[in-house]
């Protein structure tokens, strides 16, 4: 498994790794402000060239890869160069892909700067870019040398982006570790490290997603469809917000067919509502969202399969749900 290191220990490791080493930093137009702290924590990184890409999911494509590959050659990067990916999930997904394909693969280190990056994107060895309008269509599994986790980066993260990451933390709590819920207001470092542990445990049991890893899709079957539906609309719905809505609806389904108690359903809804406001959805929106669900890549044979909760902390995969029940979940969410 990849080493995930925290704060002092992480910086010591990275400083040592970079001694007498060629490295190049990749960041985006927002996370370049993270470099000041990065250099203070890891002085040996100051000497390295920086490649900056524009921020945002729209940049997570092959064109950006070409730009970065080209700049790597310009900076004389060779097989011994280490790529340091300093940014959110876009930079780590794309940077990991670039490093693993440049000269048949050079080493890379993830330095996630968003909460979602720390607890989700930088963990688990998936790298890649979007292609042909589809997310993560081109990429590969590749392990970073290390993931450097330091919550100090979160000081500059916009609160909307912070909530985006919290949705994944909540998901980790619901599928595996309810004690995370108690830490939400208190110890951020512990919240982050425990949340990472949930993802690492799941990935360790199923690195290439044949079974167990599906649990990480809780809230995402409906969530992805909502996210895609609003992608080109005027409403700006972030991944985490869509997943939060998905988790409420899928918890309702869990209560109907997977054994989740009414009390647990109510407490899940309460926690989610304390962080996220509900997305306004009309009946027509819902029809379109249901259609999109059938296109979700994780569904085999055209039937929609869900990850549901038996109880808080215990997820079950491959649950078939009728369309009628799906509609009820929508009514439960919208209160209509």
Ligand X SMILES: NC(=O)c1ccc[n+]([C@@H]2O[C@H](COP(=O)([O-])OP(=O)(O)OC[C@H]3O[C@@H](n4cnc5c(N)ncnc54)[C@H](O)[C@@H]3O)[C@@H](O)[C@H]2O)c1
**Cβ at position 164, least distance to ligand X in Å:** 5
Given the complex with ligand X, which of 60 and 214 has the nearer CB atom?
A: 60
Does 113 interact with ligand X (rule: CB under 6 A)?
yes
Compute the distance between CA of residue 283 and CA of residue 223 in angstroms, rounded to an integer: 16
Residue selected from 26, 45, 65, 121 as contacting ligand X according to rule CB under 6 A: 121
Given the complex with ligand X, which of 55 and 325 has the nearer CB atom?
A: 55
Tokens of 57: 């999911």
Given the complex with ligand X, which of 161 and 255 has the nearer CB atom?
A: 161
**Cβ at position 292, least distance to ligand X in Å:** 17
**Cβ at position 33, least distance to ligand X in Å:** 6
Compute the distance between CA of residue 280 and CA of residue 73 in angstroms, rounded to an integer: 48
Provide the mask over 33-72, with x wherever binding to ligand X is found by CB under 6 A and - wherever it is not: -x--------------------xxx--x------------
Hey, which residues between 152 and 181 contact ligand X (CB under 6 A)?
A: 153, 156-157, 161, 164
Which range binds ligand X by CB under 6 A, 73-81, 151-159, 274-282, 293-301? 151-159
Hey, which residues between 255 and 294 contact ligand X (CB under 6 A)?
A: none
Tokens of 133: 């309008």
Contact between 109 and 139 (Cβ < 8 Å) = no
Which range binds ligand X by CB under 6 A, 1-9, 77-85, 113-121, 312-320? 113-121
Hey, which residues between 72 and 111 contact ligand X (CB under 6 A)?
A: 87-91, 93
Tokens of 200: 């690492």
Note the residue count of the chain. 336
Tell me which residues are annotated as active site. 104, 126, 168, 199, 209, 213, 217, 220, 224, 239
Does 28 interact with ligand X (rule: CB under 6 A)?
yes
Does 228 interact with ligand X (rule: CB under 6 A)?
no
Given the complex with ligand X, which of 241 and 264 has the nearer CB atom?
A: 241
**Cβ at position 138, least distance to ligand X in Å:** 12
**Cβ at position 299, least distance to ligand X in Å:** 18
Does 25 interact with ligand X (rule: CB under 6 A)?
no
- Three-state SS string across the chain, please? CCEEEEHHHHHHHHHHHCCCCCEEEEEECCHHHHHHHHHHHCHHHCCCCEEEECCCHHHCCHHHHHHHHHHHHHCCCCCCCEEEEEECHHHHHHHHHHHHHHHHCCCEEEEECCHHHHHHHCCCCEEEEEECCEEEEEEEECCCCEEEECHHHHHHCCHHHHHHHHHHHHHHHHHCCCHHHHHCCCCHHHHHHHHHHHHHHHHHHCCCCCCHHHHHHCCHHHHHHHHHHHHCCCCCCCHHHHHHHHHHHHHHHHHHHHCCCHHHHHHHHHHHHHHCCCCCCCHHHHHHHHHHHCCCCCCHHHCCEEEEEEECCEEEEEEECCHHHHHHHHHHHHCC
Given the complex with ligand X, which of 122 and 309 has the nearer CB atom?
A: 122
Given the complex with ligand X, which of 139 and 264 has the nearer CB atom?
A: 139
Q: Taking CB positions, which residue lies at the least distance from ligand X?
A: 89
Does 246 interact with ligand X (rule: CB under 6 A)?
no
Q: Name the site residues for ligand X (rule: CB under 6 A).
A: 28, 30-31, 34, 55-57, 60, 87-91, 93, 113-114, 116-117, 120-121, 124, 126, 135-136, 153, 156-157, 161, 164
């Amino acid at each position: 498994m990849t080493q995930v290191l925290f704060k002092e220990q992480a910086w010591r490791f990275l400083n040592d790794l970079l001694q007498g080493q060629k490295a190049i930093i990749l960041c985006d137009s927002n996370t370049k402000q993270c470099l000041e702290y990065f250099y203070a924590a890891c002085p040996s990184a100051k000497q390295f060239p920086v490649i900056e890409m524009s921020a945002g999911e729209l940049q997570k494509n092959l064109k950006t890869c070409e730009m970065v590959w080209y700049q790597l050659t310009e900076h004389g990067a060779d097989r011994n160069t280490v790529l340091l990916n300093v940014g959110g999930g876009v930079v780590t997904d794309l940077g990991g892909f670039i490093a693993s394909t440049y000269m048949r693969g050079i080493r890379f280190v993830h330095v996630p700067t968003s909460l979602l990056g720390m607890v989700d994107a930088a963990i688990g060895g998936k790298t890649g870019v979007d292609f042909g309008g589809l997310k993560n269509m081109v990429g590969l599994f590749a392990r970073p040398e290390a993931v450097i986790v330091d919550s100090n980066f979160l000081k500059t993260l916009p609160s909307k982006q912070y909530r985006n990451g919290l949705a994944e933390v909540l998901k980790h709590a619901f599928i595996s570790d309810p004690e995370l819920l108690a830490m939400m207001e208190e110890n951020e470092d512990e919240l982050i490290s425990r949340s990472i542990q949930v993802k690492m445990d799941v990935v360790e049991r199923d690195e290439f997603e044949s079974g167990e890893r599906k649990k990480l899709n809780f809230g995402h079957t409906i969530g992805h469809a909502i996210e895609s539906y609003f992608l080109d609309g005027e409403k700006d719905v972030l991944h985490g917000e869509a997943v939060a809505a998905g988790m409420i609806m899928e918890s309702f389904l869990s209560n109907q067919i997977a054994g989740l108690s009414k009390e647990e359903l109510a407490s899940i809804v309460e926690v989610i509502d304390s962080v996220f406001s509900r997305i306004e959805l009309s009946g027509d929106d819902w029809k379109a969202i249901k259609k999109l669900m059938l296109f979700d890549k994780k569904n085999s044979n055209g039937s929609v399969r869900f990850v549901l909760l038996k109880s808080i902390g215990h997820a079950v995969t491959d649950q078939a749900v009728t369309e009628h029940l799906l509609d009820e979940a929508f009514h439960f969410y919208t209160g209509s």
